[in-house]
């Protein structure tokens, strides 16, 4: 557990009522803009899925799900979702969604292996979205176009928030900067991935780091990614590998890069086959989701997750995600936060 306590921090919204009003404004405004920018339909999503189907997401491939038996189903086990990357793709196939349209959900998850700090909680709420694309759109150009649309939705929300709460002065740059994880390593070869992110995002304000998951020239990935949703191994037209990435904003309150979204073009049959081999997970081929994908029964898609509490925390200039959402925190963290003027819900 690590905690950043900004010196001289104060709640710009002053009280809980204003904070709750601002949270509602952000959530209403952003999802409306996201839906319009990406042509997305809101759908209802599950909080639990059956174990052993391959539908739940492994994220970095090491997180344990919250799991339990179901008495009325002969003790068959279910697990609370980590995210809905694979479920959304199945849903798009079921709905026979045409190219150019997609879905988004209010996703609620539990991640008991998170290291609790200013930006990580056991409870995760995000807009999980997925969109059908053509095989020809599986390229960096289309990925960047989509990222720019999401960034525009964030900027519009920031400006609307400023109208209603003038103390929340906008500071996002006009454009988002793109860089591949290998280029970032080449720029800062002696720094850790997190330090590299801090350097580049401090410089540009808003950055999308491409190619999260594939080994770089130092033999290590910038960060981990599961083998079966983002495509991080396909060679792209810019001479690197990977069709995914992380959207990072500079957070002046915490003095660090701040991830608001992880997203990417999803694996096709070839990329899934390759990435399962690279991770030594070829046994997953027998799972329901993986069989559907390898047989060509699922559409090509792009998708991701955008943290609801994360985005609210950023736009409301909060120092801790616990100022936005109710969760469980160590008593020592609650005490430290209170002493620093940070009131956790």
Domains in the chain (CATH in brackets) are 16-339 (3.30.930.10)
Supply the pLDDT for residue 64: 83
Q: How confident is the model at residue 62 (pLDDT cuts 50, 70, 90)?
A: low
- Where is average pLDDT lowest: 46-60, 116-130, 161-175? 46-60
Residue 59 predicted with pLDDT over 70 = no
More confident residue, 83 or 39: 39
Average pLDDT over residues 5-27: 95
What percentage of the chain exceeds 70 in pLDDT?
98
φ/ψ of residue 118, rounded to 5: -60, -30
CA distance 300 to 143: 13
Average pLDDT over residues 176-200: 98
Supply the pLDDT for residue 112: 87
Mean pLDDT score of the chain, rounded to an integer?
95
Average pLDDT over residues 84-104: 96
Supply the pLDDT for residue 54: 82
Supply the pLDDT for residue 282: 95
Read off the pLDDT of residues 141-177 as tens digits, 9 standing for 90 and up: 999 999 999 999 999 999 999 999 999 999 999 999 9
Supply the pLDDT for residue 60: 54
What percentage of the chain exceeds 90 in pLDDT?
90
Q: How confident is the model at residue 215 (pLDDT cuts 50, 70, 90)?
A: very high
Residue 226 predicted with pLDDT over 70 = yes
Supply the pLDDT for residue 71: 95
Element (H, E) at 248: strand 244-251
Nearest to 276 by CA among 243, 217, 242, 227: 227
Average pLDDT over residues 40-60: 85
Supply the pLDDT for residue 63: 72
Q: Could you count the other beta carbons within 10 Å of the beta carbon of residue 282?
A: 12
Average pLDDT over residues 213-222: 97
CA distance 102 to 214: 27
CA distance 209 to 200: 10
Report the catalytic residues. Answer: 57, 111, 126, 246, 259, 262
Supply the pLDDT for residue 166: 97
Given a contact cutoff of 8 angstroms between Cβ atoms, the answer to whether 305 and 83 are in contact is yes
Average pLDDT over residues 128-149: 98
φ/ψ of residue 112, rounded to 5: -70, -15
* Ramachandran area for residue 90 (φ above 0: left; ψ -120 to 50: alpha; else beta): alpha
CA distance 311 to 223: 21
Residue 137 predicted with pLDDT over 80 = yes
Average pLDDT over residues 224-233: 94
Read off the pLDDT of residues 273-299 as tens digits, 9 standing for 90 and up: 999 999 999 999 999 999 999 999 999
């Amino acid at each position: 557990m690590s905690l950043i306590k900004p010196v001289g921090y104060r709640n710009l919204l002053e009280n809980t009522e204003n904070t709750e009003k601002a949270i509602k404004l952000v959530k209403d405004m952003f999802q409306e803009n996201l839906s319009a920018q990406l042509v997305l339909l809101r759908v209802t999503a599950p909080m639990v899925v059956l174990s052993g189907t391959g539908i739940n997401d492994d994220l970095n491939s090491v997180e344990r799900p919250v799991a339990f038996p179901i008495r009325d189903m002969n003790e068959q086990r279910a697990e609370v979702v980590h995210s809905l990357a694979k479920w959304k793709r199945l849903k798009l196939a079921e709905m026979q969604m045409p190219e150019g349209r997609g879905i988004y959900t209010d996703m609620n998850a539990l991640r008991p292996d998170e290291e609790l700090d200013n930006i990580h909680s056991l409870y995760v709420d995000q807009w999980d979205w997925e969109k059908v694309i053509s095989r020809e759109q599986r390229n960096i150009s289309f990925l960047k176009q989509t990222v720019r649309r999401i960034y525009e939705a964030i900027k519009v929300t920031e400006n609307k928030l400023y109208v209603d709460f003038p103390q929340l002065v906008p500071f996002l740059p006009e454009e988002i900067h793109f860089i591949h994880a290998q280029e970032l390593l080449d720029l800062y070869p002696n720094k850790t991935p997190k330090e590299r992110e801090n350097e580049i995002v401090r410089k540009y304000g808003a950055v999308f780091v491409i190619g999260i998951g594939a080994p770089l020239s130092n033999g290590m990935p910038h960060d981990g990614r599961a083998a079966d949703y983002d495509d991080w191994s396909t060679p792209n037209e810019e001479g690197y590998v990977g069709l995914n990435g992380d959207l990072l904003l500079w957070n002046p309150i915490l003095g660090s890069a701040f991830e608001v979204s992880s997203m990417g073009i999803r694996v096709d049959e070839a990329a899934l086959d390759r990435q399962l081999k690279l991770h030594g997970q070829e046994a997953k081929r027998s799972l329901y989701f993986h069989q559907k994908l390898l047989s060509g029964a699922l559409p090509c898609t792009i998708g991701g997750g955008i943290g609801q509490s994360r985005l609210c925390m950023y736009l409301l200039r909060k120092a801790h995600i616990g100022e936005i959402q109710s969760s469980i925190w160590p008593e020592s963290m609650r005490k430290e936060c209170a002493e620093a003027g940070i009131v956790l819900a």
